[in-house]
Each structure stands twice: as structure tokens, then as C-alpha cells.
Amino acid sequence: MSGNFETGSIVTGKVTGIQPYGAFVALDENTQGLVHISEITHGYVKDINDHLKVGDEIKVKVLSVDEGAGKIGLSIRATEEAPVEQLAKVKKPRKRQAAAIIPEAEGQQGFNTLKDKLQEWIDQSQREDLIKK
């Protein structure tokens, strides 16, 4: 690998191969890098072949250089300005509406605690008109 490619630099290369995960780009006769599918263009890329062909000359930005592994990460979209509609799609956090505060009503319906209902049940059990015969 040639040592003349620095992270952040923009260079011209030639597409030498296309795989489902990205495109290989020759930066010079001895150096090749990979443009991952997510770095092809702004937005979703289903098929790289819709955007690039082998032999295309393209401008790429060097994202990473791993001398030990001999890998160079490249990006095409980093050399392009994001389209206006893409900038508008940046999600802004939604404002959450506060929960409504419901004042306690006198004849409030809902669940009663067992302690509250126990005396009522005892009274009902002792009433003669409610006892089945």
C-alpha cells in the first residue's frame, strides 16, 4: 500500500469492481480502496450498479487508512453536498404533550381498596332482604 493517502484527502480513482456491499476503487497502480454501499450517495442505495459501473472515474474522500490490514475506506457521498430534501428529512424530536391532571371527583368511579369495601360487604351479608332462601 502506498503511504501517500491521508485521511480526509479527496482523490480521483477508477472503479475496478462492484460487489453487493460496495465498490472497489483503484487510487493508483498499487493502491485500492473500498467505497461501502452506505457511502455511495446520500439516501438509500438498493443496487450499486444503478449508480456506478466498472471503469467509472470518480472523486472519493479517504475516510480511513489501515496500513496494517492494507485497507482504505472511501466515500463518494462525502464529496457531494447533501440534497435539500435530505436536509429537510432530519428528524427533530417531537414535543410530548403533558398528561392531563384529572381532579378527584366526589363520586369517583374506579377501584376501591379492600379495606373500603369490606364494611360494605359485611353490612350486605347481614341484610335479610338480600339473603337467598
Task: Decide if pLDDT at 106 tops 70.
Answer: no
Q: Which CATH number belongs to the domain containing residue 47 in this structure? A: 2.40.50.140
Give the whole-angstrom CA distance, residue 83 versus residue 38. 16
Contacting residues for 32 by C-beta, under 8 A, at least 6 apart: 16, 24, 25, 26, 72
Residue the block writes with cell 359485611 = 122
Domain count, the chain: 1
Question: Is position 122 within any domain?
Answer: no
Query: Residues 23-73: pLDDT tens digits?
Result: 999 988 888 999 999 999 888 889 999 999 999 999 999 999 888 888 899
